[in-house]
């Protein structure tokens, strides 16, 4: 069977191609954001594997993690790339990026889990997150994992707008926010793999 025919008969593999295409687009738009997304995906997969996820669940989680911020392409650049604080109205617009990302992915039949990750990765365990103020196990499991992976990468990377944190400070932050910002079981898995994270 030809390569293209194989893709056509396996929608799951085709979804992987879709994700790679979007990531390439994201690299043109903002390479640092694309690099961040790849690192978040790598950590999320390690966390999920520690919790017993396998095969296609891991792939779908990886896709959601890779595209967790894809909705930011819908935010006007004068807001998203602003140096300095945003107004309350501008921040409200930025907080819609999970919804925009979900709208992009929800029409792809094999990406239901991935779309849930994108929609809910800013929800907090205690219900204080956005965009839907979900709480505890109302939040999809993949989104709870990506929330930890995303904060780890955001605080240990070194973007132009802030200094990165020392590893132990990030570990303390994640630990201290278990049961508030983060799913306690995701934090436990994070603490078990912390020594192998780069």
DSSP letter string, 43-72: HHHHHHHHTT--HHHHHHHHHHHHTTTGGG
Cβ within 8 Å of residue 172, ≥6 positions away = none
By the 8 A CB rule, do 37 and 69 touch?
yes
By the 8 A CB rule, do 114 and 64 touch?
yes
DSSP alpha helix (H) spans, the chain: 3-9, 11-29, 31-50, 55-66, 77-80, 88-94, 97-105, 112-120, 141-156, 167-176, 184-193
Check residues 13 and 123 and name the one with the higher pLDDT: 123
By the 8 A CB rule, do 65 and 143 touch?
no
Structure confidence by residue, pLDDT tens digits, 96-105:
999 999 998 8
pLDDT of 7: 42
Mean pLDDT of the chain: 88
Cβ within 8 Å of residue 61, ≥6 positions away = 44, 45, 48, 53, 113, 114, 117, 142, 145, 146
Q: How confident is the model at residue 3 (pLDDT cuts 50, 70, 90)?
A: very low
Segment 58-68 shows an average pLDDT of: 94
Chain centroid, CA 141 distance in Å:
12
CATH of segment(s) 3-196: 1.10.3210.10
The Cβ of residue 142 has, within 10 Å, a number of other Cβ atoms equal to 28
Q: How confident is the model at residue 110 (pLDDT cuts 50, 70, 90)?
A: confident
pLDDT of 54: 87
Q: How confident is the model at residue 12 (pLDDT cuts 50, 70, 90)?
A: low
Query: Of the candidates 124, 128, 131, which has an alpha carbon nearest to the alpha carbon of residue 100?
Result: 131
* Per-residue pLDDT at 2 exceeds 60: no
């Amino acid at each position: 069977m030809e390569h293209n025919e194989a893709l056509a008969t396996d929608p799951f593999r085709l979804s992987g191609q879709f994700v790679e295409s979007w990531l390439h687009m994201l690299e043109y738009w903002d390479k640092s954001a694309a690099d961040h997304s790849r690192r978040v995906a790598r950590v999320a997969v390690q966390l999920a594997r520690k919790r017993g996820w396998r095969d296609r669940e891991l792939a779908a989680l990886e896709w959601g993690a890779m595209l967790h911020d894809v909705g930011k392409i819908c935010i006007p650049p004068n807001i998203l790339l602003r140096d300095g604080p945003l107004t309350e109205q501008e921040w409200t617009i930025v907080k819609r990026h999970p919804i925009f990302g979900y709208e992009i992915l929800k029409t792809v039949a094999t990406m239901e889990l991935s779309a849930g990750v994108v929609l809910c990765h800013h929800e907090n365990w205690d219900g204080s997150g956005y965009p839907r103020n979900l709480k505890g196990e109302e939040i999809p499991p993949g989104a709870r994992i990506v929330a930890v992976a995303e904060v780890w990468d955001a605080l240990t990377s070194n973007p132009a707008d802030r200094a990165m944190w020392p590893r132990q400070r990030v570990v303390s932050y994640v630990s201290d926010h278990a049961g508030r910002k983060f799913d306690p079981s995701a934090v436990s898995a994070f603490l078990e793999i912390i020594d192998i994270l780069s």
